[in-house]
Chain A
Amino acid sequence: MGDRASLDAETEYVKDLPGFDKTHPQFFRDPMIDKLLEITLLIGGEIWTNRDRQMVMEHLLATEGRVTPDLIETFRPDDEFEKRSEELRLQFVHRIFGCLYDDAGIPEDLNHFKWLTDKKADAGADRN
């Protein structure tokens, strides 16, 4: 079972599988749209990062009366700050990118993997 040479021979085919190598797929007719959408997604992140830093600075000035790079880096938001930040971030994402789906609104189901931890207590009880 531990014969590396035979395993290597048996798995030689994997090099031809899609996804074995990194490629540059194109999802729009004009590949420039792929690039521009990626650029926009990343710029949004840089803008949000600056906005967050500004919010932290304003909070520190209001609560501590001073602000330093170290205070920003080690800032631990309380639940209220965290919740407000999450709300603003979702609104920010939807405001900028909602047009991609004809402004369909923020989806209700945002926690895609929640079903994994939300199983009913009795589900699968017969597995024992």
Chain B
Amino acid sequence: MATHNQFPDRGTVGPTPAMTTRSDETFLNYIKDLRSVLMWGRSKEIHPKINAAIEAKGIPVEATKESVEAVRKIARDHFPEAGVWARVYRSTQDAFWTRVAESYGMREEDFLKMLDDSDTMGPGSVTWDPDYVYPEYAKVETHRQIGGYVGHPLAGLHYDYGTRVFAGNVSKDDQLHKAMAEKISPPLDGEVNRIMDLACSVGRLTCQLKRRFPDAEVWGSDISAAMVRYAHYRAIQQELDVHFLQKASEDLDELPANHFDLVTVHILFHEVPTPVVDRTIANVYRMLRPGGTFWISDFPTLRAGQKGLSYTNFLGSIDSADNNEPYAPEFVRSNIEDKLRDLGFTLRYEDPEDMLVYGRVCDKPS
């Protein structure tokens, strides 16, 4: 990729364009360590204490502004360590998304040209609509990403680098998505000719699915044009023949029925409101061929017991309200398993301990 003369070409980190300056990269490495030392490394000792206090005070932890403020007040009045945790979370979250956007923003013209050029290149393809009108629910700046998933033309690049900071080393070389793709259960008859990866964002899982099932026709869809355009660029860098499509997961009606052998969805359902979840799973049932498999990786729900409760206390309140995950509380309080059964799915495998990596494995009866 050509870069403006004032910025030396710093290359890539895997398929991801490097930060524009070394200072940006260094700052973001510092933020990553700051979060490890002051936040993630302290959660196990801080969260149980404040959760016990929340419970002792009988505060109903609900997805309301009043409930969240009551939780913050406990931190303010009784647990300064929890205040530190929450402040570090919030301030570093803002810091890294801002820095990523500013750094790539210095070369915005270059990156927009890169995406324009990639649109018509192969292998694979991308289909998107420049006039697409996004639904209101999708305009949330999830995780406080600048512009969110749909409000910035470089949202895909932002997400790619930003999640490297968020998830640390497990995001290196797409390790997590590689691990998931290797463990995803195919249909019981073993036939995998067509795969659809819903809400694919930058296509990490989509590409790993192509690696695992090289002979299959692999598709990735996402509501965000910026995401699928960048996902296509990223797949090209890996020389993978994957097709990307801009489509909201609840709006896939025009895709053929009984068509896909395997449909996957990774961490979408806690980031969309319940009516979208309901429409999506109905669409998936329609799109899968008889005997096809639906693989869902997402948060556990309350029905999973204590594990499911982990998102309803201090972490859940602070993350949903102050890290802009407004739909997560309603997902963890839902019973998606019953909804899947009501549609006709058979749940082959589910384990609340393994909801992210192994997911929920659902089969459409033959």
Which residues in A have some Cβ–Cβ distance to B below 8 Å?
1-2, 4, 7-8, 10-11, 13-20, 22-23, 25-29, 34, 37-38, 41-42, 44-46, 48-49, 52-53, 56, 70, 72-75, 86, 89-90, 92-94, 97, 100-101, 104, 106-114, 116-117, 119, 123-124, 126-128
A11 — which chain B residues lie within 8 A by C-beta? Answer: 135-137, 273, 275-276
Q: A22 contacts B30, CB within 8 Å?
A: no
Q: B354 contacts A123, CB within 8 Å?
A: yes
In the complex, what's the smallest C-beta–C-beta distance from B49 to chain A, in angstroms?
13
Nearest B residue to A110 via CB reads: B36
- Between-chain CB contacts (< 8 Å), 27 pairs: A1-B283, A11-B273, A14-B273, A16-B65, A18-B68, A18-B320, A19-B320, A19-B322, A26-B76, A27-B84, A29-B77, A41-B91, A45-B34, A48-B27, A49-B30, A53-B22, A70-B8, A72-B22, A93-B37, A106-B37, A107-B36, A110-B37, A111-B36, A112-B40, A113-B170, A124-B354, A127-B348
| Nearest 7 A/B pairs, CB to CB | A107-B41, A127-B349, A112-B40, A19-B326, A18-B321, A27-B83, A17-B326
Q: For the complex, would chain B's binding face be called helix, strand, loop or mixed by DSSP majority? A: helix
Q: B22 contacts A10, CB within 8 Å?
A: no
Q: A17 contacts B37, CB within 8 Å?
A: no
Stretch at the interface among B113-121, B332-340, B355-363: B355-363
Question: With A and B bound together, what is the CA distance between A53 and B27 in angstroms?
Answer: 11
- Which one of A10, A29, A86, A94 contacts B37 once the chains associate, using CB atoms below 8 Å? A94
Which residues in B have some Cβ–Cβ distance to A below 8 Å?
7-11, 21-23, 26-27, 29-31, 33-34, 36-38, 40-44, 63-65, 67-68, 72, 75-77, 80-84, 86-88, 90-92, 95, 135-137, 140-141, 144, 167-170, 175-176, 179, 183, 185, 250-254, 273, 275-276, 279, 282-283, 317, 320-327, 329, 348-349, 351, 354, 356-358, 361
